[in-house]
Chain A
Amino acid sequence: MTTLAILILAIPLFMFLLLGLLGMKMSHKLAGWLGCLGMGTTLVLAYTTAFTYYFDPEYTSEIGQRLQVLLFNETWLQFTEKLVINIGFLLDPISALMLVVITTISFLVHLYSLGYMEGEKGFQRYYAFLSLFSFSMLLLVVATNIFQMYIGWELVGASSYLLIGFYYTKHSAVSASKKAFIVTRFADLGFLLGILILSFYTETFDFITLTSNPDAVLTRFGGATFMGASALTWALILIFTGGMGKSAMMPLHIWLPDAMEGPTPVSALIHAATMVVAGVFLVARMFPVYLLDFDATLFIVCVGGITAFYAAMVACTQIDIKRVLAFSTISQIAFMMVSLGVASDGMGIPSHHGLGYMASMFHMFTHAMFKALLFLGAGALIHAVHSNDYTAMHGLRKYMPITHVTFLIGCLAIAGIPPFSGFFSKDEILAACYHWHPFIGLWMSMVAGLTAFYMFRLYYLIFWWKEHKVEHGHTPHEAPLPMRIPLIFLAAVSVVAGFIPFGHFVTWDRMPYDIHLDLAVAGSSIGIALVAIFIAYKMYCHENNAPAKMKAALPALWDWCHHRFYWDELYMFITHKIIFGLICKPIAWFDRHIIDGTMDAFAIVTNKASYAIRGLQSGQVQMYVWVYLIGALLLAAVGIICVF
């Protein structure tokens, strides 16, 4: 197993170095197939590892609890006796789950890109970056300590930056990549400070030490407070801030919609299925510590709840199909966050057997599949019409039957219609929410309804609405084979994944249990989803003026949603006007004119003073004699006065 673990990390890293250093000398085909081969091998190894872990009784204790296994754990950098960064491989239910998710989606994206990116300049570079991303993401999820996670965290950020800015000659892509990096960097500052505070009190980075004995953590903190809140709350909220950045929670969500500037397969891999759930994974990894502090979990629920609703509202008004999917991703990740939050009852005990935790992980898994499917489907559509806007698409169902059916499956899954996978996972989340507090349950049900509405709005606008207008004799056509295979595979997974008895695999305390459908919740949520889909059908299936009427009826609301509640403008104002205009520029001016001016002033004064007295050194002997005489006389005079 240890060898497998090392290879799982080493192969993508090796592929990155190989393609990065020698890629330019390779043909596109060779580079692409090498990338796929590398990821394919990693996929097989990861599946072997995960399946062995889940099904081999060796990894289960006598009472049926799944174990946490350190496959290897080597010192990478030692700070003090106790604070050490290790690079290791922690195998437990959630890391095994993530191994499966990451390698599956990554492999499919590698394959899909053979078709999608065909003939692009920098094809080899693209595959190198994909390998780098896969390596970093795997490093993140198998982290044995919080600092290894931070390392992976930074590396996924950098690979995301490189991939968003893949089309580096485009202005929009460059600024989007910059924005993504800086916003997440800002969040990472919080994460880093959180780590510092946590490690200051607990004197460890190690996850197992932290999570296996949370009471010891609490004792270590010993009621330390800072500015009114306990130090533990500060640490946990700051760490969560890192998660908010990566997982695009409000108000740090602004980078994700722009990140859609990257190639679409990248959006599917990084900005839908894997990297953006890193925040959820982080909270799940630290869950036993979060259980200790109700303030922090309450914060998570609030941030998640608000974000879920906000993103769903905005998704209803976007024109660019990738942006609709981006906001939908934000909203769905918020579901997972809320779900993790409601898994804590505030007394240090998980509520309802930590149902929310299981549901969150379940939703992360199903969401990865159907959202990757939707993105890859969107890629096929964009590939066909060369535009991101649904206005260029309308009525595509006849031209692209496979994309149509798979996309529909994705929509049904996310809308929560049985028997598709999203129904099961979302049902568990809603059940957990209702159990925690009816208000949050109702709130999330409403967001679920909105989800069904905006997804079907999108679906009808792309595939129905009116006949497709064929322009310039360019008929849209179905995507090539390497692109179709991933679509079909993911669609198949989205149909069946809901039937996985997830409680047997992933639970907060790693004790398997059976999950049941909550019939009241399930029934009502199906009802809400069907109503929402029906409204979408009425409004968008055939060309009519209902959307225009609605827009006219609620102009302010529509404007705010369409402009994403003006968050970007607010950020622009803060960064450009305040940070650049009121901090950076004055500091630079101050440095040049005041600090440096003072230094120059020393020089000028010296200079001036020398000029002023240089007349004394004239070189004229008569002058010197005069001065000598006057001096001598003055001295004599002084002498005489003193004597008498």
Chain B
Amino acid sequence: MFSNILIYFVVIPLLMLAGLALCKNIKQIRAVAVVGSLALTALSVYLLVDFLALRAAGDTAPMLYLGSWEWFGPLNINLSVGVDGISIAMLLLSSIIVFAGSFASWTIDQPKEFFLWLILLSTGVFGFFISIDLFTMFMFYEVALIPMYLLIGVWGSGRKEYSAMKLTLMLMGGSAFLMLGLIGIYYHSAPVGAERTWDLLEIARNGSISTGWQYFLFPMTFVGFGVLGAMFPFHTWSPDGHASAPTAVSMLHAGVLMKLGGYGCFRVAIYLMPEAAHDLAWIFLVLTGISVVYGAFSACVQTDLKYINAYSSVSHCGLVLFAILMLNTTAMTGAIMQMLSHGLMTALFFALIGQIYGRTHTRDITKMGGLMQIMPYLSVCYVIAGMASLGLPGLSGFVAEMTIFVGSFAHTDMFHRVFTVLACCSIVITAVYILRVVGKLLFGPVQDEHHRQLTDATWWERVSTVTLIVCVAAIGCFPNFFANLIRATFTPEIFTVLGLN
């Protein structure tokens, strides 16, 4: 079991948990968090290099590093792992955000408990991305969601109990749909008489879910995951949840957890049920198309920094699902790139907002102004994050959005192209709300004279922001590397649905 490299993505967080339990002071806790997340990052980089080497050597299997260990025999539940380029990209993203998040929670209260929950959450995230067994996947999914309740409820701010409850209940509601869907898939996972399985690859190979059942199960799973992907109209947990969550939790949540939604949508819903995906995509296309524009318009009038970013996430994550539903290689590649891009830049945004809030004790943009004169470092980072968000070439947002737009517009159907045009409009609205915030918050005269005594970023805050900015710029400057890594998965041989279009 331990000869499979993937299992360490779960083992390291578990070791971290054990280490945290033994820690006596905050220094040790920080050390565990930093060393652990560095180890995870190193592991994902190593995995990436090794994966590329294997691919270069001609291994063309859909997933590599396959491994399977029995967990509960009677129902054929296994701990099955395996990754392709997309999962590796997601693992990289998660480990980087956990790393940056550890630095962003350098001075949190009750650090031991906080980090325990945070690392448990990451265990769920890593476990989710390496799993190919639907049941364990779902288990890890829940492991990632539940700590959120405590993290927001205890360490949050504002109406934290309300928000924690709302977020958890809405996501659990999604999970209920999802579970129904997954169980349904299990019961149709193999031809009549054969042994049923939870294994993704096997189910896809069998292709035994009848179209009629697909019509029922596809919406179940898509909506189930879509709730976490902030799909309209199931997105309202996002603004409240983010606004109340502590910095690192917002970072992890927007940066990684929301990606679980998008990832699940294509890995489970579209991958396993291609016919339904092909036939029903238009319904969700309408919903996600609305998300894109609606989120952006809503962000234009918010005054709370976190609300602005939460709505902006609705818009950007809407674009992820939108592109996945276009069901062609380019758009889907763009969707995954948008996940990476959005994960990094939103994490950066939330880190910066947390750092600003930690100083000014307000997130209301009408009460702040001219921060550029007071904290130039943080402000410059904020401008960079904003530029990434509005799609400046050279940063990650541009390449992701352009891949999506070009891919979506390549769709032969007029309906899809008209919706693409609609989604394109978001680039203007994004510019409006980003520049509105930047202009109000950072530029102009200093609004509150008390702010003049505030200090600029500390070294740990710099580590956290620099890490994220470097990654955002890396994707923006060398997009083809990431695009190629991702695109290899989206072939008609692997994704049957691509052949249907």
Listed in ascending order, the chain A residues whose CB lies under 8 Å from chain B are 75-80, 83, 85, 147, 150-151, 154-155, 158, 161, 165, 168-169, 171, 174-175, 177-178, 181-182, 185-186, 188-189, 192-193, 196-197, 199-200, 580, 583-585, 587-588, 591, 595-596, 598-600, 603
Size bracket, chain B contacts: 35 or more
B294 and A591 form a contact (CB under 8 A) = yes
- Bound Cα distance from A218 to B298, whole angstroms: 42
A154 and B409 form a contact (CB under 8 A) = no
Residue of B166, B387, B424, B443 near A192 (CB, 8 A) is B424
Chain B residues whose CB sits within 8 angstroms of the CB of A168 once the complex forms: 372, 442-444
A79 and B407 form a contact (CB under 8 A) = yes
Which residue of chain A has its CB nearest to the CB of B370? A169
Which residue of chain A has its CB nearest to the CB of B477? A76
CB within 8 Å for A80 and B329 given contacts A174-B444, A181-B435, A192-B427: yes
Q: Which residues B435-476 have CB closer than 8 A to chain A?
A: 435-436, 439, 442-445
Taking A154-B391, A182-B428, A182-B432 as given, write out 17 further A-B residue pairs in contact, using a Cβ cutoff of 8 Å, ordered by the A residue number. A76-B479, A77-B479, A77-B483, A78-B483, A79-B403, A147-B402, A150-B393, A158-B392, A182-B435, A185-B431, A192-B427, A199-B409, A585-B301, A599-B236, A599-B237, A603-B166, A603-B169
A185 and B236 form a contact (CB under 8 A) = no
A contact face: mostly helix, strand, loop, or mixed: helix
A199 and B406 form a contact (CB under 8 A) = yes
Chain B residues whose CB sits within 8 angstroms of the CB of A193 once the complex forms: 421, 424
Chain A residues whose CB sits within 8 angstroms of the CB of B201 once the complex forms: none
Chain B residues whose CB sits within 8 angstroms of the CB of A591 once the complex forms: 236, 294, 298
- Bound Cα distance from A192 to B236, whole angstroms: 31
B403 and A587 form a contact (CB under 8 A) = no
Chain B residues whose CB sits within 8 angstroms of the CB of A188 once the complex forms: 427
A169 and B298 form a contact (CB under 8 A) = no
Asked if B425 is at the interface (CB within 8 A of a chain A CB), the reply is yes
A584 and B298 form a contact (CB under 8 A) = yes
A587 and B444 form a contact (CB under 8 A) = no
A-B contact count (CB 8 A): 122
A178 and B373 form a contact (CB under 8 A) = no
Which residue of chain B has its CB nearest to the CB of A596? B236
A169 and B444 form a contact (CB under 8 A) = yes
Q: Taking the nearest CB of chain A, how far is it from the CB of B55, in angstroms?
A: 17
B410 and A80 form a contact (CB under 8 A) = yes
Q: Taking the nearest CB of chain A, how far is it from the CB of B246, in angstroms?
A: 22
Which residue of chain A has its CB nearest to the CB of B328? A80
Q: Taking the nearest CB of chain B, how far is it from the CB of A204, in angstroms?
A: 12
- Bound Cα distance from A186 to B407, whole angstroms: 21
Which residue of chain B has its CB nearest to the CB of A84? B480
Asked if B80 is at the interface (CB within 8 A of a chain A CB), the reply is no
A79 and B427 form a contact (CB under 8 A) = no
Which residue of chain B has its CB nearest to the CB of A594? B233
Chain B residues whose CB sits within 8 angstroms of the CB of A80 once the complex forms: 329-330, 410
A169 and B427 form a contact (CB under 8 A) = no
Q: Taking the nearest CB of chain B, how far is it from the CB of A184, in angstroms?
A: 9
B301 and A580 form a contact (CB under 8 A) = yes
Query: Which residue among B402, B406, B480 has the maximum number of chain A CB atoms within 10 Å of its CB?
Result: B406
Query: Top 5 nearest A-B pairs by Cβ distance?
Result: A596-B236, A151-B393, A168-B443, A584-B300, A196-B409
Query: Which residue among B393, B394, B424, B442 has the maximum number of chain A CB atoms within 10 Å of its CB?
Result: B393
B170 and A599 form a contact (CB under 8 A) = yes
Chain A residues whose CB sits within 8 angstroms of the CB of B398 once the complex forms: 151, 154
B424 and A78 form a contact (CB under 8 A) = no
- Bound Cα distance from A603 to B162, whole angstroms: 11
- Bound Cα distance from A188 to B410, whole angstroms: 19
Chain B residues whose CB sits within 8 angstroms of the CB of A75 once the complex forms: 480
Chain A residues whose CB sits within 8 angstroms of the CB of B330 once the complex forms: 79-80, 83
Chain A residues whose CB sits within 8 angstroms of the CB of B382 once the complex forms: none
Residue interface bits B366-386, CB-to-A below 8 A is 1, else 0: 000010110000000000000
Q: Taking the nearest CB of chain A, how far is it from the CB of B315, in angstroms?
A: 12
A182 and B393 form a contact (CB under 8 A) = no
Q: Taking the nearest CB of chain B, how far is it from the CB of A154, in angstroms?
A: 5
Which residue of chain A has its CB nearest to the CB of B438? A178
CB within 8 Å for A77 and B399 given contacts A158-B392, A169-B445, A192-B424: yes
Chain B residues whose CB sits within 8 angstroms of the CB of A177 once the complex forms: 439
B410 and A76 form a contact (CB under 8 A) = no
- Bound Cα distance from A175 to B440, whole angstroms: 10
Chain A residues whose CB sits within 8 angstroms of the CB of B298 once the complex forms: 584, 587-588, 591
- Bound Cα distance from A508 to B329, whole angstroms: 39
User: Can you list 10 pairs linking A and B with CB atoms under 8 Å apart?
Assistant: A154-B392, A192-B405, A192-B424, A584-B298, A587-B297, A587-B298, A588-B301, A595-B232, A599-B166, A603-B166
Asked if B76 is at the interface (CB within 8 A of a chain A CB), the reply is no
Residue interface bits B328-352, CB-to-A below 8 A is 1, else 0: 0110000000000000000000000
Residue of B169, B394, B427, B428 near A155 (CB, 8 A) is B394
Q: Taking the nearest CB of chain B, how far is it from the CB of A392, in angstroms?
A: 25
B410 and A200 form a contact (CB under 8 A) = yes
- Bound Cα distance from A595 to B290, whole angstroms: 13
Chain A residues whose CB sits within 8 angstroms of the CB of B406 once the complex forms: 79, 83, 196, 199
Q: Which residues B205-242 have CB closer than 8 A to chain A?
A: 232-233, 236-237, 240
Chain A residues whose CB sits within 8 angstroms of the CB of B444 once the complex forms: 168-169, 171, 174
Chain A residues whose CB sits within 8 angstroms of the CB of B392 once the complex forms: 154-155, 158
Residue of B300, B373, B402 near A580 (CB, 8 A) is B300
Chain A residues whose CB sits within 8 angstroms of the CB of B240 once the complex forms: 596
B387 and A78 form a contact (CB under 8 A) = no
Q: Which residues B466-498 have CB closer than 8 A to chain A?
A: 479-480, 483-484
Chain B residues whose CB sits within 8 angstroms of the CB of A85 once the complex forms: 402
- Bound Cα distance from A585 to B300, whole angstroms: 8
B391 and A181 form a contact (CB under 8 A) = no
Q: Taking the nearest CB of chain B, how far is it from the CB of A298, in angstroms?
A: 24
- Bound Cα distance from A151 to B169, whole angstroms: 43
Which residue of chain B has its CB nearest to the CB of A184? B431
Which residue of chain A has its CB nearest to the CB of B170? A599
- Bound Cα distance from A189 to B406, whole angstroms: 13
Asked if B420 is at the interface (CB within 8 A of a chain A CB), the reply is yes
A186 and B428 form a contact (CB under 8 A) = yes
A189 and B424 form a contact (CB under 8 A) = yes
Chain B residues whose CB sits within 8 angstroms of the CB of A189 once the complex forms: 424-425, 427-428
Residue of B236, B301, B402 near A584 (CB, 8 A) is B301
Asked if B302 is at the interface (CB within 8 A of a chain A CB), the reply is yes
Residue of A154, A174, A185, A584 near B439 (CB, 8 A) is A174
Which residue of chain A has its CB nearest to the CB of B330? A79
- Bound Cα distance from A155 to B395, whole angstroms: 11
Q: Taking the nearest CB of chain B, how far is it from the CB of A126, in angstroms?
A: 15
- Bound Cα distance from A229 to B266, whole angstroms: 38
Chain B residues whose CB sits within 8 angstroms of the CB of A588 once the complex forms: 297-298, 300-302
Q: Taking the nearest CB of chain A, how far is it from the CB of B99, in angstroms?
A: 22
B297 and A584 form a contact (CB under 8 A) = yes
Query: Which residue among B394, B403, B483 has the maximum number of chain A CB atoms within 10 Å of its CB?
Result: B394
Q: Taking the nearest CB of chain B, how far is it from the CB of A444, in angstroms?
A: 33
Residue of A78, A169, A192, A599 near B373 (CB, 8 A) is A169
Chain A residues whose CB sits within 8 angstroms of the CB of B233 once the complex forms: 595, 598
Q: Taking the nearest CB of chain B, how far is it from the CB of A318, in angstroms?
A: 26
- Bound Cα distance from A193 to B373, whole angstroms: 39
A77 and B403 form a contact (CB under 8 A) = yes
Q: Taking the nearest CB of chain B, how far is it from the CB of A147, in angstroms?
A: 8
Q: Taking the nearest CB of chain B, how far is it from the CB of A562, in angstroms?
A: 28
Chain B residues whose CB sits within 8 angstroms of the CB of A603 once the complex forms: 166, 169
- Bound Cα distance from A520 to B397, whole angstroms: 55
CB within 8 Å for A178 and B436 given contacts A77-B480, A168-B372, A168-B444: yes
Chain B residues whose CB sits within 8 angstroms of the CB of A580 once the complex forms: 300-301
Q: Taking the nearest CB of chain B, how far is it from the CB of A219, in angstroms?
A: 18
Chain A residues whose CB sits within 8 angstroms of the CB of B432 once the complex forms: 182
Query: Which residue among A79, A83, A155, A186 has the maximum number of chain B CB atoms within 10 Å of its CB?
Result: A79
Residue of A174, A185, A197, A600 near B428 (CB, 8 A) is A185
Residue interface bits B136-170, CB-to-A below 8 A is 1, else 0: 00000000000000000000000000000010011
- Bound Cα distance from A79 to B330, whole angstroms: 6
